Amino acid sequence: MQYKKTVTLDINNVEVEATLTFDYTPEVKGVYDALPEDCYPTEPEEWDLLKLRTEDGDDCDWMIPYIADSLIEQLGEVNED
């Protein structure tokens, strides 16, 4: 499922608000204390960052590979609330 969240980019010491479109799959806890045929490992959460647009509509997708960790950290903070 696709989600959109507002994130803050730091560009040359100027904070810029942008909208991040992403897919998120939550962690699925594994089962380790059942019969062997009913056990399975934990599946980690997954983030697929799709689009990054400033408030003015500027395309910033090219930045995603360089700042993905920072974006995911910001998304994680939002999910904790």
What pLDDT is recorded for position 78? 55
- pTM summary value: 0.76
Q: Residue 72, Cβ neighbours under 10 Å: how many?
A: 17
Q: What integer best gives the mean pLDDT of the chain? A: 90
If you write DSSP's letter for every residue of 49-63 in order, what string do you get? EEEEEETT--B-GGG
What pLDDT is recorded for position 81? 43
Averaged pLDDT, 42-68 = 93
CA count, 13 A, side-chain hemisphere, 45:
11
Q: Is the pLDDT of residue 21 over 80?
A: yes
Q: Is the pLDDT of residue 32 over 60?
A: yes
Averaged pLDDT, 24-35 = 94
In which band, very low, low, confident or very high, does the pLDDT at 79 lie, cut at 50, 70 and 90? low
